[in-house]
Structure 1
Amino acid sequence: MKVINSITLLIAFTLMATTLIAQDPQTNRLENSPRHHEWIEIKAGDKTLKAFVVYPQVSEKAKAVIVIHENRGLTDWVRSFADQLAEQGYIALAPDMLSDFSEEYSQTSEFPSSDEARNAIYKLENSLVTNYLNESFEYLKKLPAGNGEVAVVGFCWGGSQSFRYATNNPELSEALVFYGTGPKDASEYEKIETPVYGFYGGNDQRVNSTIEASKAAMEQHDNFYDYEIYEGAGHAYMRAGDSEDGSKENIDARNESWKRILKILK
């Protein structure tokens, strides 16, 4: 009986260890974070916006950041990024832009696959995205733990939305655009009052081919636009560089970008 129990325990410990090894670093970060995480619901007209919020462990009121996800929806990596922001002293709110998408799907996690979530993202109307971002902004502005300052950061599809949101909200403190394109309509840039910071991978010609047009439009209207291109890094290098399996170029670009993020937000 003792031999059987020992074997059972050995198998259990082996399975537990295998599970921990297989778990991705984002899941590990979220599960082991000492910071307060919560899911909230915000009324947005006839819709209900679901969002993930992380609070920093600080003694003073903190600046807040809206985190706009990639084209696969609100993934664990995006939530992990929000946790990393909070670790640096910022309140982070990541809205799920697929909230109330349909009667069948009310949030990203309900989609059968990331491909189907991506297909749904590109069906969203800009007006709905703006409404969700406005509601996120107002929530953070009124948050007792916040100091009233709200920035926005977005990745890929979310990077483009971060740039576009700067045309809709002059009260943003900063807009950080990760490998996202600027508005196609040059007249939209006239509405921008917020400083815009771009982050781009050198091996991302699809996005990088639009930088000069954005730069020219921003300069035409005397808008602040500062960007960095991280040579050797690819599209989505922040996510790819967040893994030990990432290339040296992506990891280096991710680390350098974090230094720049913190310098900008301060």
Structure 2
Amino acid sequence: MKANHCLAPILGGTLAALLAHESFGNPEAIKDFGRERLNNSPRHAEWMDIKSRDHTIKAFVVYPERKEKAPVVLVVHEIFGVTDWVRSLCDELAEAGVIAIVPDLLSGQKFEDVDGARKAISALSKEQVKADLDATADYALTKIPSCNGKLAICGFCWGGGVAFSYANENPKLRAVYSFYGSAPDEASKIAHIACPVYGFYGENDERVNATIPKAEELMKAAGKKYEPVIYRGAGHGFMRSGEPSDPNVREGDRKARAEAWARWRKLLAQL
């Protein structure tokens, strides 16, 4: 199924209840920001069906406005599924010049509340997540005519950890951008990583940051590139909670989001 631009219905794991209760910052302001950005974007976006083993997943794709082919960035969503915020971030990525595709890893599931989504995410097997990401990556590289053959991955929170781990499974990746996701803790989990990994972390997020030193040690010992940056004054989820549209935004999160985007755009230009 294809749906033109941002008027696509909310499908699969992205349910209205979650959109109405997004986690960080001012929920209504962030929700409205995402929808407003999508509604006003000049870029083309659409929902796609992607076959993955014995089921079909939904994926949201946004295309940049450029005259030449572009790299693809595969986006791994948070525990909430493909929310308005995640889709608006895909639009920001497209504005930066890349094709952004986010598969709904909760496709076909329905929830009554955010806790239901958390439980569903926790119940996903590593095998299923890998299969769905493999299917999306293959689709991006072979079925999107405007793709230039280059593929990177990013993820947020739960998705940030998944993105880092997936680099060990897919040698086609050119880069990993892990946002406040737990890092690998065993040599076997980084042994096959063939691309640089860039980390984006909030200072006030020790639950996640405590995993960084071991990953640095492992990556350095293996001769692999891992560049974590910790943003002062920011908490977990600052890419969402730092949205400038939120009148109650914390200054540390707002500043971290701006600095992270500035760094990210430079890295994206290197793909």
Specify the TM-score bucket, using the shorter chain as the normaliser: 0.7 to 0.9
Name the larger-Rg structure: 1
SS of the residue 1:24 aligns to? helix
How many equivalent pairs are there? 239
SS of the residue 1:139 aligns to? helix
Give the C-alpha shift of residue 181 in structure 1. Answer: 1.0
Structure 2: runs of 5+ lacking an equivalent:
1-27
Give the C-alpha shift of residue 55 in structure 1. Answer: 0.7
Q: Distance in 2 between matches of 1:22 and 1:217?
A: 37
* Structure 1 equivalent of residue 62 of structure 2: 54
SS of the residue 2:173 aligns to? coil
* Structure 2 equivalent of residue 257 of structure 1: 260
Q: Distance in 2 between matches of 1:66 and 1:114?
A: 24
Going from structure 1 to structure 2, the CA distance change for 1:194 and 1:22 (only over 3 Å counts) comes to closer
* Structure 2 equivalent of residue 176 of structure 1: 177
* 8 Å CA contact retained: 1:73, 1:118: no
Is residue 86 of structure 2 the alignment partner of residue 74 of structure 1?
no
Is residue 126 of structure 2 the alignment partner of residue 126 of structure 1?
yes
SS of the residue 2:148 aligns to? strand
Q: Deviations over 1:174-207 (max 9, x none)?
A: 0000001122333221111111000000000000
* 8 Å CA contact retained: 2:184, 2:211: no
Matching residue's letter, 1:131? A
Going from structure 1 to structure 2, the CA distance change for 1:231 and 1:33 (only over 3 Å counts) comes to same
Q: Deviations over 1:46-94 (max 9, x none)?
A: 0101100001111110111001101111111111100111111110001
Is residue 235 of structure 2 the alignment partner of residue 237 of structure 1?
no
Among all aligned residue pairs of Structure 1 and Structure 2, give the percentage whose two residues are the same amino acid.
47
Q: Distance in 1 between matches of 2:214 and 2:254?
A: 28
Give the C-alpha shift of residue 23 in structure 1. Answer: 6.4
* 8 Å CA contact retained: 2:183, 2:215: yes
SS of the residue 2:258 aligns to? helix
Going from structure 1 to structure 2, the CA distance change for 1:145 and 1:212 (only over 3 Å counts) comes to same
Q: Which has the higher contact order (CA 8 A, sep 6+)?
A: 2
Q: Distance in 1 between matches of 2:83 and 2:255?
A: 23
Going from structure 1 to structure 2, the CA distance change for 1:112 and 1:60 (only over 3 Å counts) comes to same
* 8 Å CA contact retained: 1:159, 1:177: yes
Q: Which one of 12, 26, 45 corresponds to residue 53 of structure 2?
A: 45
Q: Distance in 2 between matches of 1:22 and 1:151?
A: 26
The runs of at least 4 aligned residues of structure 1 exceeding 4 Å deviation read 20-23
Matching residue's letter, 2:89? F
Q: What pairs with 1:114-193 in structure 2 (closer than 5 Å)?
A: 114-142=114-142, 143-193=144-194
* TM-score, normalised by the number of residues in structure 1: 0.87
Q: Deviations over 1:123-153 (max 9, x none)?
A: 1001111111111111111221111101100
Alignment RMSD:
1.5
Higher helix share: 1
Q: Deviations over 1:105-128 (max 9, x none)?
A: x05xx3222221111001100111
Q: Distance in 1 between matches of 2:229 and 2:122?
A: 27
